Structure 1
Amino acid sequence: MIQYCIIYDLMNQSRAIEHTSTGAEIITTCFVSWLYEVGKSPNEDQCVLLHSNGVCAICLSPKHQLITKYAQNIESVDFHSGSTDRAANRVSGKRKRGGQQLQQQSILCAITCSDGERFSIRSCVQGTLLEVNEQLVSNTSLMVSKTVSDGYIALVLPRLQAADKIVAGLLSEDEYMNRLEIQ
């Protein structure tokens, strides 16, 4: 069965329709793109794609150093955060029981480049970890080449009551681009 996925490409600021033969687990039809500022520099900002069903896909922002500077030098992705293995996360049932609880600053993974530079990728939203993209372990280039589709880092389900609070802490694409022009 062929499904259509509407993907918003932040790098080229255009919409594209992709045909996939898989279940299109990540981003299927409607979502809103929000950006999370990690620090004072846009070099480590991340993107949160909020789907109409409430699930958030965590991705890298188009200005993240891993995309702009280290695209060819990503060596490894490690989903172990301290004593917690994010890749071992398993959820079950309608209410997604068993998922790891995340805070906005929780580290999802560490990405290491060939020169030894290390980047910590944060959750950006408070909620339940549904899954991490284990494909990134064997194919790190997905993070750069298909940032908002196959290169997503994790899927997080925030509590429904927290949706307004989550959006309040993020920037819309226009706000983010305006802030980059000022810097």
Structure 2
Amino acid sequence: MARASVLVVLVVVSVLLYTSRVAESAAANSGSTSFIKAKCSATRYPALCVQSLSVYASTIQKSPKQLAHTALTVSLAKAQSAKAFVSKLGKIKGMKARELEAVQDCLEEMNDSIDRLSRSVQELEEAGKSKGQDFLWHMSNVDTWVSAALTDDNTCVDGFAGRALDGRVKASIRGWLVTVAQVTSNALALVNQFAAKN
């Protein structure tokens, strides 16, 4: 009987400890999510910003640098996914010659965008280790490369201008690239917020 009582006490204590840890974790994530919402409110696409970054609240916590880093990483991942999609589209048989040319041009722009976003993620890491003029130089590079990546995304979409290219290929690519451009725009805003605070 005494063993059963000890076992019940141990179970109750374990449940209480687990519940308090879950509550602490939820409170920390709630604070992190509030931080993300506040920072995202200054971006061009705040709802998308919150949606794409809230899942990383436990990593971001309340760090402007980690928020900027995560936003760049999300942008890079979206760009890589979009490139994979556009690459598959380029292999569809029966595509009009002009559509195929636009898809190939788009892939070049996306390669450039991915390269610039990759370099930006690395450069932000270097900025985090720097101070003063070195910090500003690294952040200037990040700003330049993210802006150029955004231009690449928009150039790809522009390559499908005109009614001759209207159709499913254009609509599909545009859908992917609009999202990439929006998360990249948000990442740029968050990078600039981080730079301004240091």
Q: What is the TM-score with the length of structure 2 in the denominator?
A: 0.27
User: Relative to total residues, which structure has the larger helix share, 1 or 2?
Assistant: 2
User: Relative to total residues, which structure has the larger strand share, 1 or 2?
Assistant: 1
Greater Cα radius of gyration, structure 1 or 2? 2
Q: Which structure would you say has the larger RCO, counting Cα contacts within 8 Å and 6 or more residues apart?
A: 2
